[in-house]
Copies of this chain bind each other. A is one copy, B any other.
């Protein structure tokens, strides 16, 4: 089945907003084994919209149009859809009543121009939008089935996932149960993970399990798409593959599915009624900014301290034996974590010290990282060197700090070599 997407609107066409609706839609469809073959972006111009609809109607089997369903004069999707399909616009009473109700529930009267949102092409099938006033619809133009969706991301997502994807899967004749299993890892590059997972998809010999990746440094997402006759069939197929991925990636899997690294750390700490102190140097509050604002973190997060020099960090956590200027060491990170934990009265402390290379930012600009995790009973530390520019070092150091804390809490080795660090003769 050939699928095209048409994005509409001057804001997207002029680059005023980055087109994340498109990448979202395309990824979602990929995840269930449907592929987009062609994408077109046009502005709020009648001629361009009509031409885009007619061209896609000649080429594709299914077309998703995004945007142009609003109440203002530059929202033209219904009008041009009707023209392209050769039908009239007619008032959809059902949607009009729905809209009036929505406004009533918010104690407001519907403005007259919203009525335009209930005008649909005569041949259209209405597609529900449970979270907004833009009515979705489907109709045929040329040889393709067109699906019209709102530009508001929240409304688009609901409509795509709940209404349009099932219709597309039915049209494509694919088996109906589809499941996407995701693993998030840190420390192994995409090609390394690809090599490690060689053959896992073949554990299900009928080809219904597909392996894919999405790299967003410092994390890598490994995706398993599984198709089956029903959800029980999917679960049966997925189980051995899922288990094998966990076995092969092992300690490097930091979270699965919707979970995040900071969320996993928070859950581990919450579960043992623990509390956390953080000390940061060049990461400069980035670790705290990921962890501390999470719902529930207010009960766990005690204190974060940020400073750019070792002397200032020592002073801030109440240490008096400030080391002379020189290289940072894991012993320093241990001393800082231990003192910070005691100072904040926390059960756990993480300290991440970074020594930056001198000079301007450049592709081989690097940093040495010494980090430590302290509890009342013991302290663990790790030294590493990351190269790739200031921001690369900063992102890497923040991730390594949080991931080492995750490893510590899960009784895994804190000091396990990762792909992103350079061999360091001082280590």
Once bound together, how far apart are the Cα atoms of A390 and B296, in whole Å?
Answer: 13
Copies of the protein in its oligomer: 2
Asked if A18 meets B16 with Cβ closer than 8 Å, knowing A295-B361, A316-B303, the reply is no
Once bound together, how far apart are the Cα atoms of A26 and B293, in whole Å?
Answer: 36
Pairwise interchain contact A23-B27, C-beta atoms closer than 8 A? no
Asked if A298 meets B308 with Cβ closer than 8 Å, knowing A36-B14, A37-B43, A39-B13, the reply is yes
A286 within 8 A of B: yes
Instruction: Give residues 4-36 of A contacting B (CB, 8 Å).
Output: 13-20, 22-27, 30, 35-36
Asked if A301 meets B308 with Cβ closer than 8 Å, knowing A18-B20, A40-B40, the reply is yes
Q: In the complex, which residues of chain B have a beta carbon less than 8 angstroms from the beta carbon of A16? A: 23, 27, 214
A109 within 8 A of B: no
Pairwise interchain contact B304-A298, C-beta atoms closer than 8 A? no
Chain A contact surface mostly: mixed
A162 within 8 A of B: no
Closest chain B residue, CB of each to CB of A288: B285
Closest chain B residue, CB of each to CB of A298: B308
Once bound together, how far apart are the Cα atoms of A306 and B48, in whole Å?
Answer: 52
Closest chain B residue, CB of each to CB of A356: B298
Whole-angstrom distance between the Cβ of A7 and the nearest chain B Cβ = 8
Q: In the complex, which residues of chain B have a beta carbon less than 8 angstroms from the beta carbon of A361? A: 295
The 29 sampled A-B contact pairs (Cβ below 8 Å) are A13-B26, A13-B36, A13-B37, A13-B39, A15-B23, A15-B24, A15-B26, A16-B23, A18-B20, A19-B19, A19-B22, A37-B48, A38-B52, A39-B41, A40-B40, A40-B41, A282-B293, A283-B289, A283-B293, A284-B289, A285-B289, A285-B292, A285-B306, A286-B289, A295-B360, A297-B308, A303-B312, A304-B304, A304-B305
Known: A19-B23, A301-B307. 20 other contacts (CB 8 A): A13-B39, A14-B30, A14-B35, A15-B24, A16-B23, A16-B214, A37-B43, A38-B40, A38-B42, A38-B52, A278-B306, A284-B291, A284-B292, A285-B286, A289-B289, A298-B308, A302-B312, A303-B312, A306-B306, A316-B344
